[in-house]
Amino acid sequence: MKLPELSLSPIQHRALSLIAVLTILPHGLHFSPQINLYLMLLMIWHLAGLRWHRFRPGRWSLVIATLGGIALVFSEYHTLIGHRAGVALLTVMFLLKVLEVRRRRDLTVTLYIAYFVVVTHFLFGQSIVLAIYLFALMIAATALLLESQRVTVSRHPADPLYRTLVMSLQAVPLALILFVVFPRISHPLWHIGMNSSAMTGMSDRVRPGMISELVASEEVAFRVRFDDTPPAPEQRYWRGLVIWDSDGETWYNRTGSPFWKQDNDAGIAQVHYEIFLEAHQHPWLYSLDLPLNSPPQAILTGDRQLLTRRPVNQPLNYRLVSSTEQRDRRISTSMRTRALALPDNITQRQRDLVEQWKQTSGTDRDLVQQVLNHFHDQPFVYTLTPPLYPDNPIDEFLFEGREGFCEHYATAFTQLMRLAGIPSRLILGYQGAEYNDLGDYFIIRQSDAHAWSEVWLAEQGWVRIDPTAAVAPERIRYSILTDETPPGSPVSFHIDRSGFIGRSLIQITHLLDNANVQWRRWVVGYSREHQFSLMRQFGFQRLTHLEWGIMIAGLIGVIMLVVALNLIRQGKNRPSQVMQSYERFCHNLARVGILRKPGEGPLDYARRASRARPDLSAPISRITSGYIQLRYGPDPKPELLENLQRDVRAFRPGRTRHRV
Amino acid sequence: MAPSLSQWLRPFQRHAHADAQGGVVIKPRSIYILPTRQGLLLALVILLMLVGSINYGSNLGHLATFFLGGLWLISILHTWRNLLGLRLQPYRVASVFAGDTAEFQVMVENPSQIPRYAIQIRHRKEQGERLDIPGSDQMMFTLPLATRRRGPFPLPRITLQSTYPLGLFRAWTYADMPLECLVYPKPAERGQPPITTAYQPSDQGDRGVGTDDFIGLRPFRSGDSIRHIDWKAYARQQGLMCKQFGGDRHLEVRLDWDLIAEQEAERRLSLLCRYVLQQEELGQAYSLTIPGVHIASGTGQSHMQRCLTALARHGLDHETA
């Protein structure tokens, strides 16, 4: 079937509609209902226009719809720039363009916009599934583009898809090479609208109840791969934020972190590891207990926090060296003042309790132990669903409720230490880790969120104290199973990992998580550092811009050459043996002056040749009929080919004439 | 007229020469390739994607951008391969009168198993239709070219082009092929040839044209004498019929260069061309005499073609002979 030069076939129209819907679909998750409704109405309009021509949008209705779309996006976002408003606007414009498509030329431009919309999805998600979906969509769009370029219509819809897949497979090496070697820039070129979205995860403030909300989330916070032996489970404290100040209810940092040169770290046991951090929208990184160095993205502060310049809004990989035993001994006067500062809602019963402990203990160390014993011996309950302590959380928790989660214990403990004159600070991070044996790494989930304290002891320096461990020691060995905790019940710490199904489920979860980790590590989290270390492995130390350029061009050139040679090989006129024999026959006849005219059928040619050379009419008709049977006949027998080849070999028109 | 740049560059263009059969095979290195406007547009879109991906630090954005970039590059090779190995064979072209469109027919063979798509032949602005050629098949391409002057009109250097598969690149090749259209002079307006008739005995007796015996009816043509209309036939509702008379001599019209009352040679040829056509319409025998050529009296298709050919070639034979 042949098409008029410029129009689209119904099936092409339908394919375009499908591609448009699939392209827009994932954006529906974060567009407002109004924009989604508008997009839906446009799509209905488009489909109605395809079905009934009188609904086809005219020029003016399209102008009005465009202006309406711009107004709607503006009213939702109060701007048209920035990635959210920009993507919404682009999506509306894309669909309007789809409505406008009549001719094949429109189709081309529309598909280019579709490519662009596809790429914008990666601003909102980077999972494997989304990537597979979007790449499939790009291939489908390309297949439609390819189909629209030919004159006749493909016999089967899979035909253009197959061709596009072949081209895509040839494009993949180019894409991978460029992906690996194209220089990455660590900082954005400019900064539009990357304000943090609603997040689930840590906050930079600790309120009672904050972490227990977090613990219900099975989302992955980060993953860790150790170079050597991982530290023991009770050493797996993942330090994030150090909090110094309290207003009696909320703990937060009033001022910045102290900065000074670290103590000499030489001679202590070091743990080398790599962290694959998920975007968490905060300007800090997590480390195993005490970090000894800082990755290029962050700086190491005096209280051993890793702070970044900007919130971490992209998954990030970094290598670290930590120690689980190093204790910083230094404490400045201002630091000491800050670590002893008390809020103004300290009650008399708190002072009395601390005074009583002070009298019975000789050293600070003893006092710490006394507080921990208090948590252990008194009926303190460790629960995910503690009661509310509305007026004075620490006081009510210590003397009335006695039910709390880690942040209750940690804040109360820190405050009691300060009352006793021991400098202390609150640490926010994660504790524990789930081992993935398939990928040999650990997963730290939001449910591992934890808070603990660090106190400064004269002989030892800063020491980590986890008051929660005093209540429920199991807490520091295993993660909590959140699903099976009815509100108000004490937390069940025992995870049933026996049984085939339980084990298989864990295996499957680990397999999927491992795929995700590799994806995060090599694709989503691929960075400048990876690039440099990869280059070093190939022996390139420091390359100039020119050398980078030459390398990229060279690699692309090599791949293109390989593909080109492959294409030539495929396109080579490799006529079948039948064709070869027949062509030899024609060639022999041509040598005696009987040329086959272009477009002349074999029968006509044979007739003409026989007329010119009656002496040869028998072999000519034998060869011609053999050829026709082999080429056009159904299911030719193999001996036919042998006969044809023998006849053609024996066919020597030049020599026969001499003999006759 | 000063030659334009493209004319000046013409000898430097890589182009395929015809082989013994007049055909041309497209070789790898004779194919030119450049991005189309759409190809440049997509390149711009890809560049925008790259800037966005860099700005937002999106690695998947990079990957998608590079994938499209890879497709863009790979499509160069596929566009190139779409022309590679095709064989052009000049086929035929019918003679036309000057000012009419000559339709050059070129057979394009695809000797490979791989189908070729959206192939087009063109010369400058004049384009033929686009066609798909299945594997091991051939298609006839027609290139309509406007003619202006009489005489032999060789097929100019043609361009075979395609933008398949993605329309991002245009691959083209130049081919010179021996195919020539003979352009007859443009016929002048209708008129009476100068009367130089002579009656000669006919070998076939009554088959000639005369006024002696009624030999039959034929449909009325404008210019026929009203006196010859068969009004009875008209009354029988057979339409306007004209009575024909034959004689034992037939009428010969001599179309002679020297008898044309015009000085300008092309004008004379135009008039002679018109008279040839008129005589052929009337079915009256005619002879043609122009300087250097005399064609004896006759009628019929081949006679007409001989006459028209002589008119077309008049004064130009030293080039083609």
Give the H or E element holding residue A179: helix A158-181
Supply A576's token pair: 């079948």
Q: Which residues of B touch A176 (CB under 8 A)?
A: 66
With a CB cutoff of 8 Å and minimum separation 6, the contacts of A12 are A107, A144, A147, A148
Mean pLDDT of chain A: 81
Predicted confidence (pLDDT) per residue in A319-369, tens digit: 999 887 767 777 888 888 889 999 988 999 999 999 999 888 888 888 888
Identify the pLDDT of residue A311: 85
Q: Å from B16 to nearest chain A CA?
A: 18
Contact A179 B71 (CB under 8 A): no
Q: Å from A416 to nearest chain B CA?
A: 45
More confident residue, B210 or A93: A93
Q: Which of A122-126, A586-590, B206-210 has the lowest mean pLDDT?
A: B206-210
More confident residue, B50 or A6: B50
More confident residue, B318 or A630: A630
Q: Which residues of B touch A523 (CB under 8 A)?
A: 59-60, 63
What is the identity of the amino acid at B112?
A: S
Annotation says A586 is catalytic = no
Give backbone dihedrals phi and psi of A206, rounded to 5 degrees, phi first.
-115, 120
> What number is the average pLDDT over the span A403-424?
90
**Interchain contact A568–B (C-beta under 8 A):** yes
Identify the pLDDT of residue A478: 36
> What number is the average pLDDT over the span A64-74?
92
Annotation says A466 is catalytic = yes
Give the Cα separation of B314 and B308 in Å (integer). Answer: 10
Q: Which residues of A141-170 are buried (b: 16+ CB within 10 A; e: fewer)?
A: bbbbbbbbbbbebbeeeebbbebbeebbeb
Cα radius of gyration rounded to whole Å, chain B: 30
Supply B285's token pair: 């025998």
**Is residue B157 within 8 Å of B176, Cβ to Cβ?**
yes
Give the Cα separation of A529 and A520 in Å (integer). Answer: 15
> What number is the average pLDDT over the span B87-112?
89
Predicted confidence (pLDDT) per residue in A154-173, tens digit: 888 888 999 999 999 999 99
> What number is the average pLDDT over the span B229-240?
75
Give the Cα separation of A79 and A85 in Å (integer). Answer: 6
Nearest to B290 by CA among B263, B261, B265, B318: B265
Cα radius of gyration rounded to whole Å, chain A: 37
Considering only residues 134 to 163 of chain A, which have any Cβ-Cβ distance to chain B shorter than 8 Å? Answer: 134-135, 138, 142, 145-146, 148-152, 163
Contact B166 A135 (CB under 8 A): no
Secondary structure of residue A168 in the 3-state scheme: helix
Identify the pLDDT of residue B201: 53
Identify the pLDDT of residue B319: 46
Instruction: Answer yes or no: is pLDDT of B292 > 70.
Output: yes
Partner-chain residue, chosen from A113, A119, A167, that has the shortest CB–CB distance to B165: A167
Q: Which residues of A touch B166 (CB under 8 A)?
A: 142, 145-146, 149
With a CB cutoff of 8 Å and minimum separation 6, the contacts of B291 are B257, B314
With a CB cutoff of 8 Å and minimum separation 6, the contacts of A584 are A648
Q: How confident is the model at residue B251 (pLDDT cuts 50, 70, 90)?
A: low
> What number is the average pLDDT over the span A19-34?
91
Q: Which of A199-213, A626-640, B113-127, B206-220 has maximum average pLDDT?
A: B113-127
Identify the pLDDT of residue A501: 65
Q: How confident is the model at residue A598 (pLDDT cuts 50, 70, 90)?
A: low
Pairing of β B180-184 and β B96-97 = parallel
Contact A179 B78 (CB under 8 A): no
Instruction: Answer yes or no: is pLDDT of B39 > 90.
Output: yes
Give the Cα separation of B230 and B216 in Å (integer). Answer: 10
Q: Which of A37-51, A401-415, A441-455, B241-255 has the lowest mean pLDDT?
A: B241-255
> What number is the average pLDDT over the span B284-306?
87
**Interchain contact A116–B (C-beta under 8 A):** yes
Instruction: Answer yes or no: is pLDDT of B219 > 80.
Output: no
Question: Chain A interface, mutation test: which of B31, B59, B82, most A Cβ atoms within 10 Å?
Answer: B59
Identify the pLDDT of residue A212: 64
Give backbone dihedrals phi and psi of B58, rounded to 5 degrees, phi first.
-95, 115
CA angle B237, B243, B245 (to 5 degrees): 165
**Is residue A132 within 8 Å of B64, Cβ to Cβ?**
no
Identify the pLDDT of residue A602: 82
How long a stretch of residues is chain B?
321
How many alpha carbons lie under 13 Å from residue A3 in its C-beta half-sphere?
A: 20
What is the identity of the amino acid at A294?
A: S
Identify the pLDDT of residue B10: 66
Give the Cα separation of A31 and A92 in Å (integer). Answer: 11
CA angle A134, A139, A143 (to 5 degrees): 145
> What number is the average pLDDT over the span A364-380?
86
More confident residue, A183 or B105: B105
Identify the pLDDT of residue A494: 36
More confident residue, B313 or A200: B313
Identify the pLDDT of residue A170: 94
Partner-chain residue, chosen from A138, A149, A571, that has the shortest CB–CB distance to B81: A571
**Is residue A35 within 8 Å of A164, Cβ to Cβ?**
no
Secondary structure of residue A374 in the 3-state scheme: helix
Q: Which of A46, A364, A406, A510 is catalytic?
A: A406
Secondary structure of residue B275 in the 3-state scheme: helix
Predicted confidence (pLDDT) per residue in B55-86, tens digit: 877 888 999 999 999 999 999 999 999 999 89
Instruction: Answer yes or no: is pLDDT of B321 > 60.
Output: no
Identify the pLDDT of residue A405: 81
Q: How confident is the model at residue A22 (pLDDT cuts 50, 70, 90)?
A: very high
Contact A116 B48 (CB under 8 A): yes
More confident residue, A275 or B198: A275
Q: Which residues of A471-491 are buried (b: 16+ CB within 10 A; e: fewer)?
A: bbeebbeebbebeebeeeeeb
With a CB cutoff of 8 Å and minimum separation 6, the contacts of B193 are B253, B255, B275, B278, B279
> What number is the average pLDDT over the span B205-212?
51
Give the Cα separation of B89 and B105 in Å (integer). Answer: 9
**Interchain contact A82–B (C-beta under 8 A):** no
Q: Which residues of A touch B59 (CB under 8 A)?
A: 126, 179, 523-526
Identify the pLDDT of residue A480: 45
Instruction: Answer yes or no: is pLDDT of B299 > 80.
Output: yes
To the nearest 10°, the Cα dihedral for B227, B228, B234, B238? Answer: -160
What is the identity of the amino acid at A458?
A: A
Annotation says A450 is catalytic = yes
Identify the pLDDT of residue A479: 39
Name the one residue in this structure whose structure tokens are 């808070």. Answer: A451
Contact A119 B49 (CB under 8 A): yes
Q: Å from B169 to nearest chain A CA?
A: 12
Q: How confident is the model at residue A58 (pLDDT cuts 50, 70, 90)?
A: confident
Give alpha helix (H) positions in chain B. Answer: 5-9, 37-55, 59-83, 231-235, 265-282, 301-313, 317-320
Mean pLDDT of chain B: 82
> What number is the average pLDDT over the span A180-187?
75
If phi > 0 it is left, if psi is from -120 to 50 it is alpha, else beta; for residue A73 that is: alpha
Instruction: Answer yes or no: is pLDDT of B114 > 80.
Output: yes
Predicted confidence (pLDDT) per residue in B155-186, tens digit: 998 999 999 889 999 999 998 888 899 999 99
Q: Which residues of A touch B113 (CB under 8 A)?
A: 574
Give the Cα separation of A449 and A407 in Å (integer). Answer: 10
Q: Which residues of A touch B71 (CB under 8 A)?
A: 142, 167-168, 171
Partner-chain residue, chosen from B28, B53, B68, that has the shortest CB–CB distance to A115: B68
Instruction: Answer yes or no: is pLDDT of B231 > 60.
Output: yes
**Is residue A393 within 8 Å of A378, Cβ to Cβ?**
no
Give the Cα separation of A126 and A54 in Å (integer). Answer: 42
Q: Which residues of A touch B132 (CB under 8 A)?
A: 150-152
Q: How far is CA A592 from the centre of its chain?
A: 70
Distances (CA, A) of B32 to A198, A573, B27, B183, B204: 54, 21, 11, 32, 64
Distances (CA, A) of A31 to A76, A564, B13: 9, 44, 55
> What number is the average pLDDT over the span A104-132?
89
Q: How confident is the model at residue B104 (pLDDT cuts 50, 70, 90)?
A: very high
**Is residue A134 within 8 Å of A118, Cβ to Cβ?**
yes
Nearest Cα residue in chain A from B44: A112
Q: Which of A76-80, A125-129, A196-200 has the lowest mean pLDDT?
A: A196-200
**Is residue A113 within 8 Å of A145, Cβ to Cβ?**
no
Contact B62 A182 (CB under 8 A): yes
Share of chain B above pLDDT 70, in %: 82
Q: At what angle do helices A577-591 and A602-612 cross, to 10 degrees?
A: 30
Identify the pLDDT of residue A660: 38
**Interchain contact A572–B (C-beta under 8 A):** yes
A208 secondary structure, DSSP code:
T
Q: Å from B314 to nearest chain A CA?
A: 31
Q: Which of A98-102, A461-465, B251-255 has the lowest mean pLDDT?
A: B251-255
**Is residue A460 within 8 Å of A273, Cβ to Cβ?**
no
Output the CA torsion sign for B262, B265, B266, B269.
positive
Q: Which of A46, A450, A513, A586 is catalytic?
A: A450
**Interchain contact A128–B (C-beta under 8 A):** no
Give the Cα separation of A226 and A275 in Å (integer). Answer: 9
**Is residue A275 within 8 Å of A222, Cβ to Cβ?**
yes
ipTM of the complex: 0.76
Instruction: Answer yes or no: is pLDDT of B209 > 70.
Output: no
Q: How confident is the model at residue A297 (pLDDT cuts 50, 70, 90)?
A: confident
Predicted confidence (pLDDT) per residue in A461-520, tens digit: 888 888 887 775 544 333 344 444 333 333 333 334 455 666 677 677 777 777 776 777
More confident residue, A463 or A390: A463
Contact A314 B58 (CB under 8 A): yes
**Interchain contact A573–B (C-beta under 8 A):** yes
Identify the pLDDT of residue A17: 94
Give the Cα separation of A659 and A609 in Å (integer). Answer: 19
Q: Which residues of B touch A589 (CB under 8 A)?
A: none
Q: Quick one: A360 exposed, middle or buried, by C-beta within 10 A (0-12, 13-18, 19+)?
A: exposed
Q: How many CB pairs under 8 A join A and B?
A: 178
Q: How confident is the model at residue A299 (pLDDT cuts 50, 70, 90)?
A: confident
Q: How confident is the model at residue B101 (pLDDT cuts 50, 70, 90)?
A: very high
To the nearest 10°, the Cα dihedral for A284, A290, A292, A296? Answer: -10
Instruction: Answer yes or no: is pLDDT of A262 > 70.
Output: no
Contact A150 B59 (CB under 8 A): no
What is the identity of the amino acid at B271?
A: L
Instruction: Answer yes or no: is pLDDT of B143 > 70.
Output: yes
More confident residue, A205 or A632: A205
**Is residue A321 within 8 Å of A268, Cβ to Cβ?**
no
> What number is the average pLDDT over the span B9-16?
68
Nearest Cα residue in chain B from A171: B70
Q: How confident is the model at residue B5 (pLDDT cuts 50, 70, 90)?
A: low
Q: Which of A289, A303, A448, A466 is catalytic?
A: A466
Q: Which of A237-246, A382-391, A434-443, A551-560 has the lowest mean pLDDT?
A: A382-391
DSSP result, B301-314: HHHHHHHHHHHHHT
